[in-house]
Structure 1
Amino acid sequence: MKVALYHNDQQRSLKIVKELKKELAQQGIERDDVHPDLVITVGGDGTLLGAFHEYIGVNPDLRFVGLHTGHLGFYTDWLGGEVKELVASLVKDSGERVSYPLLKMTTTQADGRQTEYLALNEATIKQPIGTLVADIYLGDHLFEGFRGDGVAIATPTGSTAYNKANGGAVLHPSIKAIQMSEIASINNRVFRTLGSPLIVPTGQTITVKPKHQSFLITCDQLEILAEDVVSVTFEVAETMIHFASYRHLDFWCRVQEAFIADNALDE
């Protein structure tokens, strides 16, 4: 097994990385930051998102392990004081993994050129100044004309972020689907949208055709000023992200821990 380390620059993270390097060397585990079989991230969920965009596509069987320097996150299973335990689990590794769906986003320019992106959490289309005006298609069918601040399209694991704040449902990652939620849509006698989140399964697409010369697209942590883009299409990606499942926490346990753990304990 070849292991890469990906971390933020916080002092606590750097200290943990130093410990990890020492433990990996003592256990004879090879380090390879270019072509790894497994990536250990040290930081938070944002750090793991960065590692995903750095390494996805390097190896179709690549797995990730998240070590959190604070509280456990949605993608991180180990805490900073568990370096020895984490490395011990690597020694006993037999390739177990749990896989989550990803979002594929394709932008199309007026001349037909297309660019593809992958998102682990979500993508958004916004009009930073004024109102976003766009036609939204489900497959080839014009579904609605949208007016508002924007739309967000989330993976199941990303459904607990911006999507949830927009009133979207929390989806279990075993469901291979994407979800579109509206960001401050305008609904009155003249303009009308569905007003509810849409969940679209594998094999179907959501296409947004903004009626602007430029607008803002986000893809996880990436921001794109879209110019001369005539449409943006979203679908469940064929590629999936894999996590080493040494003690991968149940998704609903993560949701409970993130949002209602104290209340549950009080009961």
Structure 2
Amino acid sequence: MKVAIYANEGRRSTIISQRLKKKFADTHFIYDEKNPDIVVTVGGDGTLLSAFHKYAAIIDTVRFVSVHTGHLGFYTDWREDEIDDLVVSLQSDNGQAVNYPLLDIRVKYQGLAKAVNYLALNESTLKRNSATMVTDVYIGGEFFEKFRGDGLCISTPTGSTAYNKSLGGAVIHPNLKVLQVTEISSINNRIFRTLSSPMIIAPSDWITLIPDRQSDYILTVDQDTFHGKQIEQIRYKISKKSIHFAKYRHMQFWRRVQDAFIGNEFGN
């Protein structure tokens, strides 16, 4: 098996990644950062997001497993004191995986002949830099509304617990291959109206945004930011690709949500 380690720059993460690399060498794993079968991330959910984008070109063939060096995240299953157990699990690996849907983003920029494609694990947002964002919203090719406000957030089911949740969006189980559209401070008055509610979009449909012709839009794809080009159109759809996690043990999704947002303080 070919393995790679992707760690953040924190001191604890660096120490753990060095320990892991030595254990992989001692147990005769092949260390291959360019074309690994398994990527072990060390850090938190942000580290996993960065690793996902680094290996997006081989997303069909690589699996991820994460060690957290802080609080338990939604993508990190192993603690730093469980390194030995993780290596043993990798030694007995039989290809098991849990798959989560991704967001396909297709952007047409003014002046470019071809659209630019991105993949997101959590979400993508469109905002304006210094004024109200105005954009036509289409669902499945049919005009739905003209949105005015600070912006729109389009998220995956796993991303529903991230920025989307802070905007009042619903938490969605990752077994549902849907996308969610959540408004960011929409304008609703006697003249301008939006739905003013999160929307769950079926996997067979897609969301198209056609913004007013301005050049100061800011597009985000997970933690990456793109600006400076005039956007003609953005299409969002559930991707045919998925991210694959090597799951040797699995925390039930709603237990993970409970642990992250509620905790046991008021439990039995």
Is contact 1:213–1:227 with CA below 8 Å preserved after alignment? Answer: no
Q: Which moved more, 1:154-163 or 1:104-113?
A: 104-113
Q: Supply the distance in 1 between the matched residues of 2:55 and 2:141 (Cα, whole angstroms).
A: 33
1:257 correspondence with 2:259: yes
Equivalent position of 1:12 in the other structure: 12
Where does structure 2 lack aligned partners over 5 or more consecutive residues?
none
Deviation at 1:59, TM superposition (A): 5.0
Amino acid at match of 1:7: A
Amino acid at match of 1:220: D
Determine what percentage of the aligned residue pairs are the same residue: 50
Is contact 1:37–1:59 with CA below 8 Å preserved after alignment? Answer: no
Is contact 2:104–2:236 with CA below 8 Å preserved after alignment? Answer: yes
Is contact 1:35–1:59 with CA below 8 Å preserved after alignment? Answer: no
Q: Supply the distance in 2 between the matched residues of 1:67 and 1:169 (Cα, whole angstroms).
A: 27
Is contact 2:89–2:248 with CA below 8 Å preserved after alignment? Answer: yes
Equivalent position of 1:237 in the other structure: 239
Amino acid at match of 1:125: L
Equivalent position of 2:118 in the other structure: 117
Mapping 1:11-160, distance limit 5 Å:
11-58=11-58, 60-111=60-111, 112-160=113-161
What is the SS of the residue equivalent to 1:262? coil
List structure 1 runs of 4+ shifted beyond 4 angstroms.
none
What is the SS of the residue equivalent to 1:227? coil
Is contact 1:133–1:212 with CA below 8 Å preserved after alignment? Answer: no
Deviation at 1:264, TM superposition (A): 4.3
Is contact 2:101–2:238 with CA below 8 Å preserved after alignment? Answer: yes
Q: How far does the alpha carbon of each residue in 1:74-99 deviate from its partner, in whole angstroms, 9 at most, with x for none?
A: 00000111111111110111110000
Q: Supply the distance in 1 between the matched residues of 2:191 and 2:242 (Cα, whole angstroms).
A: 41
Amino acid at match of 1:81: D
Aligned residues: 266
Structure-1-length-normalised TM-score: 0.97
Is contact 2:59–2:242 with CA below 8 Å preserved after alignment? Answer: no
Where does structure 1 lack aligned partners over 5 or more consecutive residues?
none
Structure-2-length-normalised TM-score: 0.96
Q: How far does the alpha carbon of each residue in 1:139-167 deviate from its partner, in whole angstroms, 9 at most, with x for none?
A: 22110010000000000000011111111
Equivalent position of 2:191 in the other structure: 190
Q: Supply the distance in 2 between the matched residues of 1:21 and 1:104 (Cα, whole angstroms).
A: 33
Deviation at 1:253, TM superposition (A): 1.4
Deviation at 1:250, TM superposition (A): 1.6
Q: What RMSD, in angstroms, separates the aligned Cα atoms of the two structures? A: 1.2
Is contact 1:71–1:79 with CA below 8 Å preserved after alignment? Answer: no
Q: Supply the distance in 2 between the matched residues of 1:162 and 1:240 (Cα, whole angstroms).
A: 20
Amino acid at match of 1:247: R
